[in-house]
Amino acid sequence: MRTVVIGAGAVGAACALALTEAGAEVIVLDRAGVAAETSSRCEGNILVSDKGPGPEADLAILANRTWRELAKRLDDEPAPGRPATEFEAKGGVVVAFGAGAGALEEFAATQRAIGIRAVPVSAAELRELEPHLSDAVDAGVHYPDDAQVQPSLATQAMLAHALRLGAEFRIAEVIGARHAHGRITGVDTSDGVVEADAVVNCAGPWAGAVAELLGGRLDIRPRRGVILVTTPMRQRVFHKVYDADYVGAVGSADAALQTSTVVESTPAGTVLIGSSRERVGFSAEDMLPPLAEIAAKATRLFPFLADTMLLRSYFGFRPYTPDHLPAIGEDGDVAGLFHAAGHEGAGIGLAPTTGELIAHAVLGSPAPLDPTPFLPTRAGLRSAA
Amino acid sequence: MTRRVAILGAGPAGLAAAEAALSAGADVVVLDEGERIGGQYWRHHEQLTDRRMQHQHARFARLGRVAEAATVHREASVWRVDTAHGIRVHALVGPADGSDREALTIDADALVIATGAHDRALPVPGWTLPGVITAGAAQALAKRDGAIVGERTVVAGSGPFLLPVADSIALAGGSVAEVVEAAGVAAIARGWGRAPWQLAGVAGKAGELAQYAGGLLRRRTPFRFGQAVTRIHGQGHVEAVTVQHVDAQWRPVAGTERTVTCDSVALGHGFTPRLEAAIQAGCDLSPERFVVVDDRQATSVASVFAAGEVTGIGGADTALAEGAVAGFAAAGGSLDDRRISGAVRARKRMHAFATRLATHAIGPGWTGWLDEDTIICRCESVTRARLSEYAAASSRAMRLATRAGLGACQGRTCGRTVETLIAADVDFDRRPVLSSIRIGELARLHHAEHKEQE
């Protein structure tokens, strides 16, 4: 089975790896190169803490286990041009200010009911986990299973591994499709025609445009996110630390700027501070309000940050679906066209299991979980918003 | 109504822009990161600077008077330039390491970008040894502090800028072992028609260069053409350099190596324009990566003008002429106005000089003097071999895998070199925040805006 994967971000690389391992002949196409966009403009989250009960939580719990095994497999075989994933099972701490504590504990209880480890921690225990937290924080929940990778490096490692197993990678932009008898039979690219039995659309925030180009339909939109990076320092943040309002922002459909604090250290000694969510198209304008609001909220959580220097900041676009679930499976109109996109801020974390779901859809290999809730043909994706 | 013109940079271009904008009746605000106005060209200190290094001092003294009529913010770090809804400049004023810098937000009708250039040093094996500095740093040290980096310095690289650098070192009490220019005699004769210091018809420039060359002759400083420092030697500090012939493409010629004893090296291979503010403002760049301007020095963005090295490397006289035109146009003046005709003519004359600087452009063969383990990105100690390993990845992936350009200088030093070595554009100078700012200072902006809304 000759399969074209469009997009060399984390989801594309994971799909390429899963398809190659399941026996397909895989050609990955990207217009800019590996991890050139969303997968190198994010935090590399592998989270269970932000998922309430539902299909996405089921996917996240499974993907969290898969990542541990995959990262070990990738990192155990270093090779030139193939970086380590920097997988860190550092755990997450979600904290609440004042009245938010009750809502946080209620949310954690629903998570424990589906098997997520969510351990309430007292004010004293919080100080042990994170000694530099603001005194104003007095309640929190510890999520030992939250983890992180360096997203660009992890994507590069997944793709390099797929290439070693026989997949092929070309830098080319997809500009059209070949069809025969209602089936896709290949794609036209800036570098000629590539024939295929199946095409997997992993174009992230551009997946809607790519679907249309190939005759399919998928409602995916960009949602801008900004991250601040400080200069390197002695480690003073030990987990992924979030403000409890994170959960509300992820689930929201509001187009206006929303921010919630996420603070964590990296192996390089820098501190990453996120994050914002805005639906402004692919715009680079009006960056100051999100930058300033993130900074203000981060210093509320960790007062010492006020005196640290910003080294750089970057922004990217997450692929957003109206019903907040990724679209994974075959297109409703074009046979042989598959989508794996719309993971919003969870694409890195959900990538390996998404790859397995795509291998199931394309090749019929065993499904890691019930694929139904994620199918691109579901009602929630078809509604014009 | 009076037009308000904001000017980024108080070097020759920025000061000339300020003077011209004032003469056209504008309300002028100048922002510069230095402690004193003058930029790199007129870098000085009231007590420490040797007057012989202050070229065109009378011109500087006259331009310095703009500070009486314009608002000049020194030690101002401009960290954001927005042009989407009118022109707005955000800056922090005060010592960069101070904790209570004043936040400044300036709204203007027009903007002049005169941010100048960094001097550029190509990597050479051994260039991370103590005793190696950039030619610009050596000159700044001599001009502002009257200090030298060593007793016996080799000045190497390319371009007429090497002459004043050698001159400044000598005036500050150092000894220049050799001046090593990569462009060959034949290329220079073709480009300049004659030696640069004999260039007639370029008022100011010719005299200035002749003065430097005279100093070199008087001190019997050897001047080598078509040669380059290809290796720097030393245990813990510079002890000697290898000087070698290079061909027209700057490829080192085997068998021509010569050892020169020295305790310091000043490297200067031309200049890189400081484009960050122009890029953030949305200005179009040329394929050679300079800000594109029309004959009014107007950029592709409405009401945004640019002058000096950001529009093309041309030296101080070019910058002065372009700055005057930009400032006058930014203030709403017409180029037909007689008050600006002198600057328009000077600009045309100086562009002829600037064109000739191409003679000294970096040749692609320089990579031939690198070793596999030569450090390219100094902040993160990234070697050439490590870069080659990721040359095929996307530029972002390469950067994150190697960490090239992710350190303290954010690619300001190594950016162009990294781009050459991986043969791809990385866009190091495209950044949402232009200069160092504390998280707390950024947070204050949020608190201030929310107070306004309440």
Residue of B nearest to A290 (CA): B446
**Residue A383 pLDDT > 80:** no
pLDDT at B53: 72
Residue of A nearest to B98 (CA): A307
Residue of B nearest to A35 (CA): B397
Distance CA(B236)–CA(B129), nearest Å, equals 7
pLDDT (mean) for A264-271 = 92
The 10s digit of each residue's pLDDT in A43-70 is 999 999 999 999 999 999 999 999 999 9
User: Using a CB-CB distance cutoff of 8 angstroms, which residues of chain B are in contact with residue A278?
Assistant: none
Interchain proximity A268–B403, CB inside 8 Å:
yes
**CB distance from A268 to chain B under 8 Å?**
yes
pLDDT at A48: 96
pTM of the full structure: 0.90
pLDDT category at B78 given cuts 50, 70, 90 is: very high
The 10s digit of each residue's pLDDT in A160-177 is 999 999 999 999 999 999
pLDDT at A185: 97
The 10s digit of each residue's pLDDT in B295-352 is 999 999 999 999 999 999 988 889 999 999 999 999 999 999 999 999 999 998 888 7
Q: Bridge partners of B95?
A: none
CATH code of the region B4-118+272-357: 3.50.50.60
User: Using a CB-CB distance cutoff of 8 angstroms, which residues of chain B are in contact with residue A35?
Assistant: 393-394, 396-397, 400
**CB distance from A314 to chain B under 8 Å?**
yes
The 10s digit of each residue's pLDDT in B5-55 is 999 999 999 999 999 999 999 999 999 999 888 888 887 777 767 777 777
pLDDT at A385: 40
> Do B4-118+272-357 and B121-269 agree at the fold level?
yes
**CA angle A103–A237–A47, rounded 5-degree value:** 50
pLDDT category at B200 given cuts 50, 70, 90 is: very low
Domains in chain A, CATH or no CATH each: 2-76+150-219+323-382 (3.50.50.60), 92-144+221-320 (3.30.9.10)
Kindly report the number of other CB atoms within 10 A of residue B248's CB atom.
13
Superfamily of domain B121-269: FAD/NAD(P)-binding domain (3.50.50.60)
pLDDT (mean) for A265-271 = 91
Which among A43, A86, A156, A304 is the top mutation candidate for probing chain B, defined by the most B β-carbons within 10 Å of its own β-carbon? A156
C-alpha distance from residue B152 to each of A5, A87, B124, B239, B329 (Å): 60, 50, 19, 10, 47
Q: Which of B393, B432, B438 sits opposite A307 (nearest CB)?
A: B438
C-alpha distance from residue A221 to each of A134, A213, A318, A323, B121 (Å): 36, 15, 8, 12, 44
Helix axes A347-363, A151-164, angle to 10 degrees: 30
Which among A293, A302, A308, A348 is the top mutation candidate for probing chain B, defined by the most B β-carbons within 10 Å of its own β-carbon? A293
The letter for the amino acid at A112 is R
Q: Which of B84, B393, B447 sits opposite A296 (nearest CB)?
A: B447
- Dig out the tokens for B188 from the structure: 């220079």
Kindly report the number of other CB atoms within 10 A of residue B96's CB atom.
13
Distance CA(B406)–CA(A72), nearest Å, equals 26
Residue B138, min C-alpha distance to chain A (Å): 27
Residues 6+ apart with CB under 8 A from B238: B126, B129, B130, B131, B132, B150, B232, B262, B263, B264, B265
Interchain proximity A288–B84, CB inside 8 Å:
no
**CB distance from A286 to chain B under 8 Å?**
yes
Q: In terms of pLDDT, which residue wins out, A208 or A250? A: A208
Distance CA(B65)–CA(B19), nearest Å, equals 8
Residues 6+ apart with CB under 8 A from B190: B359
pLDDT at B204: 56
Write down the mean pLDDT value for chain A: 93
Question: What phi and psi, each to the nearest 5 degrees, are found at residue A106?
Answer: -60, -45
Percent pLDDT > 70 in chain A is 96
Interchain proximity B438–A310, CB inside 8 Å:
yes
- Look-up: residue for tokens 């600087």? B357
Distance CA(A272)–CA(A45), nearest Å, equals 12
- Dig out the tokens for B170 from the structure: 């000598």
| Sheet of B102-108, strand order | B76-82, B87-93, B102-108
Give domain limits for chain B.
4-118+272-357, 121-269, 372-454
Residue of B nearest to A226 (CA): B432
Write down the mean pLDDT value for chain B: 90
**Residue B201 pLDDT > 80:** no
**CB distance from A231 to chain B under 8 Å?**
yes
